[in-house]
Amino acid sequence: MFLDRLYRSTAVKLAAVFFGFFLFLFLIATSATYLLVSHELTKTVDDRIRAEYRIIAAQLDPEASDDFVQNVQNLADLRDPQLGILLLTNKAGDRLAGNVEPFQVEEGGSTHALPQIKRGDDYAYRLYSRPVGDMQLIVGQSLEDSHELLEITLVNLAWTAGLAICLAILGAILLSRKVQQRLRPVAETMDLVADGNLTARIPRQNPNDDLDRLSGTINDALDRLKLLVDGMRQVTTDIAHDLKTPLNRLSIIIEDASREQDNNEAVSGKLEAARLECENINQTFEALLRIAQIEASAHNNAHFATIDVASLIETVADIYSDVAIDAGMTLSVQPTSESVSIKGDERLLMQMLVNLVENAIRHCPEDTAITIDTHRKRGKPIISVADNGPGIPASERKNVLRRLYRLEQSRTTSGNGLGLALVKAVADFHDAEIQLMDSDPDNRERPGLTIEITFPSKADQQ
């Protein structure tokens, strides 16, 4: 179980990869060290036996070669053949002097095993063979010391590697346990979410590291998911609830029409009423779809253009001033000296303004004054639509932004309760904030309504 978890741990897999890499590098380094040390040791031995050869060869006097042979024999007698050898032969290979039985060896430097010399298992000698006059002088040195040194080096390297491997394995186990400990709350939370508990959140931990930041991002995503699912639930209930009435009405109209038809009465009036009811239902669906589309394309702002707010307001005021006058109201634009521009979708912003102006015209009594204004506050562009109508009580301001929500007092006027939901969707789409307030808080009879949309400043938009 533990081994299985360990085997499937990302930290252990990563550690294994690094471990393999480390082992590969270690093998290369060990081989290189071995070759270098062995080469250096051989070179040191070679230098020594060559120097010895030169010293001995320099003593040869061609006139007194017997003395030379005697000298070599004297030197050979002083030498332990287990450590070093001296051999002087004639051209035929017969020994003239030396501390070892004659043997064949190639000219120059070479490595030879000389098992005839009784010693441990290591028979290797480094030899140097060169002529001296008409004789052949072989100087050699045992490689036992060098081999011992090499062995010590190798054993040292092996111990170091063993220790490093043990530490690496221990480190991988500790690391994997630590990572698993940190990941467990994430997995547990996601299990709860998968089981349908959308309120579960990953507990944040003290070190503000990448895992903790990831937990924060997942929590934010879960917040948003919950908001969307709640919104979806709310909308589904609202739609079902709100469409029941017009569908019931439609059903009654059709029943009436069919009864009247049976009585041979004219049904064209009932059919027209049914058509209007269908149109109303259709409009509701269209508006709902439109809001859904805007919400679905959030963050897709590649097509945003720089819009001159003053001219946008002017256009809406031109279209609606006559409608306002017909309703016994006035619609004016607050004059402004500063030019306000925002990055956005012109069509949607126009729709947003139209909805606000239409609301004021629809939900306010005659003689209402409607004002559209734009200005900047702390660098942030603001568009506001104000009226001096009945206003919206503070407790209802959040509700009216919901889909299909209408105040009790508006039940008799036409509309679906989707205008402000669309305004909110457009504001969200532009990262703008929407605020509802009284136009004149001191006037209890008609506090009026001011809806302010605050857009991000240019710096925030970048």
Ligand X SMILES: Nc1ncnc2c1ncn2[C@@H]1O[C@H](COP(=O)(O)OP(=O)(O)OP(=O)(O)O)[C@@H](O)[C@H]1O
In contact, 42 and 126? CB cutoff 8 Å: yes
Segment interacting with ligand X, rule: CB under 6 A, options 59-67, 79-87, 95-103, 362-370: 362-370
Q: Taking CB under 6 A as the rule, does residue 234 contact ligand X? A: no
- Distance (Å, rounded) from C-alpha 52 to C-alpha 128? 10
Identify the burial level of 187 via C-beta atoms within 10 angstroms of its C-beta, where 0-12 means exposed, 13-18 middle and 19 or more buried. Answer: exposed
Q: How far is the CB of 261 from ligand X (least distance, A)?
A: 33
Q: Which of 193, 329, 418, 425 binds ligand X (CB under 6 A)?
A: 418
Map 1-39 to HEC letters. CHHHHHHCCHHHHHHHHHHHHHHHHHHHHHHHHHHHHHH
Q: Taking CB under 6 A as the rule, does residue 357 contact ligand X? A: no
Short-list 112, 143, 131, CA closest to 53 = 131
Number of residues interacting with ligand X: please give it, by CB under 6 A: 22
Categorise residue 405: left if φ over 0, alpha if ψ from -120 to 50, beta otherwise: beta
Q: Taking CB under 6 A as the rule, does residue 424 contact ligand X? A: no
Strands across the sheet containing 449-454 = 330-333, 369-377, 380-387, 449-454, 433-437
Q: Taking CB under 6 A as the rule, does residue 416 contact ligand X? A: yes
Q: Taking CB under 5 A as the rule, does residue 419 contact Mg ion? A: yes
Q: How far is the CB of 347 from ligand X (least distance, A)?
A: 18
Amino acid (1-letter code) at residue 334: Q
Question: Which 312-341 residues touch ligand X, going by CB under 6 A?
Answer: none
Q: Taking CB under 6 A as the rule, does residue 447 contact ligand X? A: no
Taking the CA atoms of the chain, what radius of gyration do you get in angstroms? Answer: 50
Short-list 329, 316, 287, 328, CA closest to 415 = 287
Q: Taking CB under 6 A as the rule, does residue 417 contact ligand X? A: yes
The token duo for 18 is 């690094």
Q: Taking CB under 6 A as the rule, does residue 400 contact ligand X? A: yes
Segment interacting with Mg ion, rule: CB under 5 A, options 48-56, 124-132, 302-310, 356-364: 356-364
Long-range contacts of 321-327 (CB under 8 A, 24+ apart): 323/361, 324/357, 324/361, 324/370, 327/361, 327/366
Please identify, using beta-carbon distances, which residue of 172 and 370 lies nearer to Mg ion. Answer: 370
Q: Taking CB under 6 A as the rule, does residue 390 contact ligand X? A: yes
Please identify, using beta-carbon distances, which residue of 176 and 371 lies nearer to Mg ion. Answer: 371
Question: Which 244-303 residues touch ligand X, going by CB under 6 A?
Answer: none
DSSP state of 457: P
Q: Taking CB under 6 A as the rule, does residue 438 contact ligand X? A: no
Please identify, using beta-carbon distances, which residue of 72 and 361 lies nearer to ligand X. Answer: 361
Q: How far is the CB of 354 from Mg ion (least distance, A)?
A: 10
Secondary element (H or E) of residue 115: none
Please identify, using beta-carbon distances, which residue of 270 and 363 lies nearer to ligand X. Answer: 363
Length of the chain: 462
Q: Which of 68, 387, 388, 432 binds ligand X (CB under 6 A)?
A: 387
Q: Taking CB under 6 A as the rule, does residue 419 contact ligand X? A: yes
Q: What are the phi and psi torsion angles at 372 (to 5°)? A: -110, 140
Q: Taking CB under 6 A as the rule, does residue 381 contact ligand X? A: no
Q: Taking CB under 5 A as the rule, does residue 416 contact Mg ion? A: no
Q: What share of the chain is helix, strand, coil (3-state, %, to 5)?
A: 55, 15, 25
Q: Taking CB under 5 A as the rule, does residue 388 contact Mg ion? A: no
Q: How far is the CB of 378 from ligand X (least distance, A)?
A: 26
Please identify, using beta-carbon distances, which residue of 381 and 389 lies nearer to ligand X. Answer: 389
Short-list 277, 233, 240, CA closest to 256 = 277
Segment interacting with ligand X, rule: CB under 6 A, options 122-130, 177-185, 314-322, 409-417: 409-417
Bridge pairing between strands 84-89 and 135-142: antiparallel
- Distance (Å, rounded) from C-alpha 144 to C-alpha 128? 17
Please identify, using beta-carbon distances, which residue of 87 and 364 lies nearer to ligand X. Answer: 364
Q: How far is the CB of 381 from Mg ion (least distance, A)?
A: 23
Q: Which of 392, 425, 432, 453 binds ligand X (CB under 6 A)?
A: 392
Q: Taking CB under 6 A as the rule, does residue 359 contact ligand X? A: yes
Segment interacting with ligand X, rule: CB under 6 A, options 134-142, 158-166, 207-215, 360-368: 360-368
Q: Which of 146, 359, 371, 374 binds Mg ion (CB under 5 A)?
A: 359
- Distance (Å, rounded) from C-alpha 105 to C-alpha 112? 8
Site residues, Mg ion (CB under 5 A): 359, 419
Site residues, ligand X (CB under 6 A): 359-360, 362-364, 387, 389-392, 400, 406-407, 410, 415-421, 449
